[in-house]
Amino acid sequence: MATDQLSKVFSALADPTRRDILTRLGQGDATVSELADPFPISLPAISRHLKVLETAGLISRDKRAQWRTNSLEAAPLKEATTWMEHLSHVWDDRFDRLDAHLAAMKALQGTTDTDKEEEPNDD
């Protein structure tokens, strides 16, 4: 997936209304009116959200007779998830190395503290 397309996907997902629309489309195809029903915004506003989702490749729109049906397209979500999982593995590896380093430092600190306790006190 081109970085530009990935940016469009993340930009589209940044809006909670668009995420809610995608969640609804995960249950099945829907018309603009059906998608607009739970939102306190106008049909033109929903249409603008749908256009952003369509540009990002997250939905497809099909006109049948007078109805325009919207469908979820999962491929861009899968590609974005794959990209995020790669980064997650990178950060997991870095955190594992940091944990090992901190454990080694703590063990060394424990050795240093034990050495101090064993030194005779000249009081």
CATH of the domain at 23: 1.10.10.10
- Place 121 in a pLDDT band, splitting at 50, 70 and 90: low
Residue 105 lies in a domain: no
Between residues 113 and 41, the one the model is more confident about: 41
Q: How many domains does the chain have?
A: 1
Residue 98 lies in a domain: no
pLDDT of 1 > 60? The answer is: no
Residues 73-101, mean pLDDT to the nearest whole number: 90
Residue 79 lies in a domain: no
Residue 48 lies in a domain: yes
Q: Six-digit token pair at 74?
A: 């999962």
Residue 101 lies in a domain: no
Residue 89 lies in a domain: no
Distance CA 88, CA 4 (A): 21
Which pairs with CB-CB distance under 8 Å and at least 24 residues apart come from 28-33? 29/69, 29/70, 29/71, 30/69, 30/70, 31/67, 31/68, 31/69, 31/70, 32/68, 32/70
Which amino acid, residue 7?
Answer: S
Distance CA 33, CA 12 (A): 20
Q: Each residue of 25-78: pLDDT tens digit?
A: 999 999 999 999 999 999 999 999 999 999 999 999 988 767 789 999 999 999
Residue ranges making up the domain that contains 14? 3-73
Residue 111 lies in a domain: no
Q: Which strand ranges, in their side-by-side order, compose the sheet holding 67-72? A: 30-31, 67-72, 59-64
- Specify the pTM: 0.69
Which amino acid, residue 102?
Answer: L
